[in-house]
Structure 1
Amino acid sequence: MTSDFSKLGLKDDIVKAIDEMGWTEPTPIQIEAVPVGIGGRDILAQAQTGTGKTGTYGSIILDRIEATKGGWPQALILTPTRELALQVSEELERLSKYTGHRIIPIYGGVSMVRQTQDMDRGVDVIVATPGRLCDHLKSDERLLEDISIVILDESDRMLDMGFRKDLEFILGRIPEEGRQTMLFSATMSKDIRKLALDCLNDPKEICVSKDEVVLDLIDQQYMMVDKEDKVDTLRYILAKDPKKTMVFCFTKYRVDKVVRKLKMSFKLAGIHGEYSQNRREETLRKFKEGAIEVLVASDIAARGLDIDDVERVINFDMPPEAETYVHRIGRTGRAGKRGTALSFVMREDRKLMKEIENLTLIPMEEIPAPTKGEMDKVFSNITELPRPVMAKKNSRKNDVPVKEKVFVVAEINIGKEDGITKSSLAQMIKDHTTVPKKSIGDIYISDRTSTLQIEKRYLSKTEDGLSKCDVNGKSIKLWKISEIEGLELKHTLEDEPSPKGDGHDKVRKDDRGTHGGHRSGRREDTRGDRMEHSRRSIRDDGDRKRDHRRSYNDDSQRRERPRYGDRRDGPRRQSDRSYGERRRNDDGNRDSRRSYGSQRNDSRGSRDGRSRDSNPRDRFQRPRRSGRY
């Protein structure tokens, strides 16, 4: 076992760590790439998920650079997602157990200050996402001056996510002389070839052949399912045959939909790019530990995830290309264990099925979809998981649907590269269509395309209107991706929870309102009532301050300070007197105010030697009006 890896030319400390990690023999990509990489040559490798490419470039890096204490980074690994960055850094930590290299992951969602402090203490290898690394380079342009090895992992996915300009910016900050660059990709598209031409120097091309991509330990099956029956079919499969399962959806909206419909029946959670970093890490931790049995994921969020004990992969939506299918099902059938890959196939997916069979060289087995009777029999045995304690308190008992809107997710063939922004796209739709503003939802702008939510009934109008436009001579095309079902606006007559869900959501049944202090039921807080209440508060506050000053001047006539309350309760207040009565009272107390001011000035002295009495403006003060706001 040890001798097989030692034949690749790796150092003894690395081979010892590999031995403890339980790796039995090198994979095909490791056999071909490790000797070439140790020799310092650039590499262009096409390898699928699960082929051991992380161990390939990780062992090359640790073999070629020396561990330093308090030094600058010598190697850089770029990954498309935060999860993959964490996974790669963890594997390199295990490989460097006896070499002493320091590895630091750099990704978004955490403090940049803390990451900078970690790097200041010394680092040998940085594993980073392009966006966050660009942020660090803007504040420290010399960060990558000592980099000698660069790894571009999942390069095709980084280009799909729009990181091309970020990659050019990063590579432009690394000296080209003496730099070794290795590019790993699942596909070899024209964009990948162009990127390789720009950043690689006479690379060694390595491709894991189709024969080596064959996943012999995976039973591949498919089921003909209509779109509207997918959720019920998934519920049936999870209930009848519970296993540790990963479910793949094409969009993040579909991920949320599946989770929303099934979360009360199964230990299930979702993960996609819009979730916070802490939430994604917590979800993955629970899935690895078994607290979550079903993980619903989008392709981008699940890219590069390494979870060994996944028993089944379900393609809720078929991927756009055959290579992505291989990436998905590669999550199961690992560590010598058999796995199952089940795909929900619609009529329009038949062409893709043939491409998949040609790529994997394994025919897929068709299994019959469950009938309604079979579903009902299984569903009758499903019991909902216990709801949280607050769920009952915040439940809506008398929801009355007011209006239901069905939105669709559409994609447009223009993006940032065409100078499009969210506001400009919204304005374009407004100018060339009759779609109301409230019927347009979220808009997401990527480099080459844009995605927007729009009410289903206005989809054709939007498509017709935009087809007559062009951006920089480029005709605009719009197509539907998916549908967001069950988007319903509701109005609650009673027991409507507060926005914060803090428990103050029930209407009080006694003679006070939700916050107390009102005489008859729940106070109707209209705009006029709020303005009148504000005017009364300001007026009463001014009266209280003036009464307090007068009582302070004359101890013999000290009065109790007024309290908040109803004007009709208690003693008569200053604001309830007539204007003439208030004026006479003000004239009578003017001397006491003036004498108090003069005493105060005399006790501490004045700047010009005169007391405040000598100021004519003090002697002829006008009474303050407090009758109106």
Structure 2
Amino acid sequence: MTFYDFGLKEPINKALEKMGLQKPTQIQEKVIPLVLEKLDIMAKAQTGSGKTASFVLPILENFLNNQYEGKPKIRTLVLAPTRELAIQVSKTFEDLSKYMNKKPKIVTLIGGEDISQQLLDVQQGRDIVVATPGRILDIISKKQINLSFVEYLVLDEADKMLDLGFQEELDLLLEQIPSKRQNLLFSATYPEKVLEIASKITKEAKEVFLEEKETVELITQRAIKVNSENRSALLRDLLKKDKYEKVLVFMATNRAADNLAAKFRKYGFNAESFHGHLDQEERNYTLEDFKNKEIDVLFSSDIAARGLHIDDITCVVNYDLPRSPADYIHRIGRTARAGKSGTAISFLTLENYEHFKLIEKRSNINLEKEEIEGFELKGTPLNKKKGEAPVKGKRKSKKDKLREARAKKENL
């Protein structure tokens, strides 16, 4: 199947062709026809599966089919959990509408940038708004935006937005938009809380669920045993030997990302750090440099684990393991995008060896545990012991504690 089979208009097909996109991904193949049929969607797919284009393409097709007259009104509202993802969704709209005679007007509403300019853009008229929940609610509270013409409501990375407290803000947002609209929900996972949000937004959504194995099968996963203090030297050794061109390294803390990036620069690597403590301008520049291959190694917090569209990452490294198996899948999904292959390396230390067993069990994988000559793991992996279960009836009651306190006072 090719993109031509969707029957999209020539300007969109031309943009796809110029971007070198010929065949749709699995999620695009399943979702695009349903959106064109005006159906609500609940799609489950990992990052890197191409889900952004699966809603951008049919929305642009609808825009071409309805040449609206007069000042643009907000017809599409896309909500994204992070600034970077919002910027990238807007860029996808721009790239795929490049050859339209009348292009949709797009605005990105995010924190960390000048709100007065964003308000001015909204007041001048926009067809598509891509926003983080916090910033759009801020603008709604100022009564500076009219969402009464919204036809499409898109939630991208819905589960991530939940982590950021989105559930409380959703009701306020739904009050501002028409009840008759098309709802498109995309999420890597669908825990109970995401299903609660979905039930508030739509009652008749078509479910499109892709299995995780379909999206990670092109990734070569490696697990390498190494002592914590030798990880930095081992990473340098691997980068030199295997000549990975664009490497994303996940760190547990912002400070560790900064420190290791500085250390690698001293060893001659084009390395930078990327995390939430950088201001928005720095984050934008760093991402652009990484995309343009001016940075070879990017040391990042989990801010880059989801939703960021960075092509041609050849290797992802879990310098520090993620907390959950789901985060492991999100992280390694940064490589092997758009049908390409990639490598994901996890460092197993004495401290995290048992935790990786849990990740393997929950992710349905069983990797060979490698050792690299000169960096062999020394010592025995730590077994985390559970605390002893409380013995019923042995714990002092509140009354007992109060009696003891009174007795002490009387004896003073």
Please tell me whether residue 308 in structure 1 is matched to residue 306 in structure 2: no
More RCO (CA 8 Å, sep 6+):
2
How much is the aligned-residue C-alpha RMSD, in angstroms? 2.4
Partner of 1:44: 42
Mapped contact 1:325–1:356 kept (Cα < 8 A) = no
Alignment of structure 1 residues 180-579 onto 2, 5 Å: 180-216=182-218, 218-243=219-244, 244-265=246-267, 266-345=269-348, 346-355=352-361, 358=364, 363-371=366-374
Paired residue type of 1:34: I
| Bigger mean CA offset, 332-341 vs 240-249 | 332-341
Q: Secondary structure at the match of 2:249?
A: strand
Q: Match for 2:307: what amino acid?
A: G
> What residue ranges of structure 1 are gaps of 5+ in the alignment?
374-629
Change (3 A) 1:229 1:242: same
Aligned residue in 2 for 1:81: 82
Aligned position for 2:28: 30
Scaled by the length of structure 2, what TM-score is found?
0.82
Please report how far the alpha carbon of residue 102 of structure 1 lies from its aligned counterpart in structure 2 after TM superposition: 1.6
By how many angstroms is 1:115 displaced? 1.1
| Equivalent residue in structure 2 for 1:123, among 123, 126, 131 | 126
Q: Shift of residue 309 of structure 1?
A: 1.8
- Separation in 1, partners of 2:89, 2:9: 20
Amino acid at match of 1:273: G
Confirm whether residue 144 of structure 1 aligns to residue 144 of structure 2: no
Q: CA deviation at 1:62?
A: 1.4
Structure 1 counterpart of 2:13, one-letter code:
V
Q: 1:283, CA displacement in angstroms?
A: 0.8
* Contact 2:258–2:272 under 8 Å retained in 1: no
Deviation track 1:68-99 (CA, whole Å, cap 9, x = no partner) reads 45312110011111111111111111111234
SS at match of 2:298: strand
Q: Retained in 2: the 8 A contact 1:81–1:301?
A: no
Q: Distance in 2 between matches of 1:48 and 1:354?
A: 17
Instruction: String of CA shifts for 1:108-136, please: whole Å, max 9, x gaps.
Output: 11111111222233211111111111111
Identity %: 40
Letter in 1 for 2:22: T
Q: Distance in 2 between matches of 1:34 and 1:94?
A: 18
1:15 aligns with 2:13: yes
Letter in 2 for 1:295: L
What displacement does 1:154 show?
0.6
Summarize the alignment of residues 47-196 of structure 1 with structure 2, pairs less than 5 Å apart.
47-65=45-63, 66-68=66-68, 70-99=71-100, 100-140=103-143, 142-176=145-179, 178-196=180-198
Contact 1:220–1:365 under 8 Å retained in 2: no
Instruction: Find the aligned partners of 1:224 and 1:46 in 2 and give their Cα distance.
Output: 33
Helix, strand or coil: the match of 2:266? Answer: coil
- The amino acid across from 2:78 in the alignment is I
Provide the rounded CA distance (Å) in 1 between the counterparts of 2:227 and 2:173: 46
- Measured in 1, the distance between the counterparts of 2:212 and 2:47 equals 13
SS at match of 1:371: coil
SS state of the match for residue 151, structure 1? strand
CA distance in 2, matches of 1:20, 1:261: 40
Tell me how far apart the structure 2 counterparts of residues 67 and 367 of structure 1 sit (CA, whole Å).
59
Structure of higher CA gyration radius: 1
SS in 2 for 1:295: strand
CA contact (8 A) 1:313 1:329 kept: yes
Cα deviation 1:446-465 (Å, max 9, x = unaligned): xxxxxxxxxxxxxxxxxxxx
More off after superposition, 200-209 vs 324-333? 324-333
Cα distance, 1:369 vs. partner?
3.8
Distance 1:140-1:67 versus aligned 2 partners, 3 A rule = farther
Any residues of structure 2 matched to 1:596-611 within 5 Å, and which? none
- The one-letter code of the counterpart of 2:153 is V
Q: Deviations over 1:307-366 (max 9, x none)?
A: 2121111011112222322222222223554321110123222333423651xx6x4343
Q: Which amino acid aligns with 2:113?
A: V
What residue identity is the alignment partner of 2:75?
A: Q
> Number of matched residues?
368
Q: Deviations over 1:173-196 (max 9, x none)?
A: 1121x2111110001111111111
Q: Which amino acid aligns with 1:264?
A: K
CA contact (8 A) 1:273 1:301 kept: no
How far has the Cα of 1:147 moved from its partner? 0.9
Matched residue SS, 1:83: helix
**Contact 1:67–1:124 (CA<8 Å) still a contact in 2?**
no
Mapped to 2, the partners of 1:154 and 1:271 lie a distance apart of 20
CA distance in 1, matches of 2:374, 2:253: 27
Q: CA deviation at 1:211?
A: 4.3
Q: Distance in 1 between matches of 2:213 and 2:248?
A: 25
Contact residue 155 and residue 186 of structure 2 kept, 8 A: yes
Paired with 2:56 and 2:306, the residues of 1 have a C-alpha distance of 18
1:422 corresponding residue in structure 2: none
CA offset at residue 10 of structure 1? 3.0
Q: Secondary structure at the match of 1:71?
A: coil
Partners in 1 of 2:164 and 2:231 — Cα distance?
Answer: 28
Offset from partner CA, 1:420-469 (integer Å, 9 cap, x none): xxxxxxxxxxxxxxxxxxxxxxxxxxxxxxxxxxxxxxxxxxxxxxxxxx
Cα 1:168–1:329 shift into 2, 3 Å: same
Letter in 2 for 1:221: R
* Residues 25, 321 of structure 1: alpha-carbon distance in 2 compared, 3 angstrom cutoff: same
1:372 deviates by 5.7
- Report the AA paired with residue 181 of structure 1: N
Amino acid at match of 1:274: H
Q: Indicate how the Cα distance of structure 1 residues 27 and 307 shifts in structure 2: closer, same or farther if over 3 A, else same.
A: same
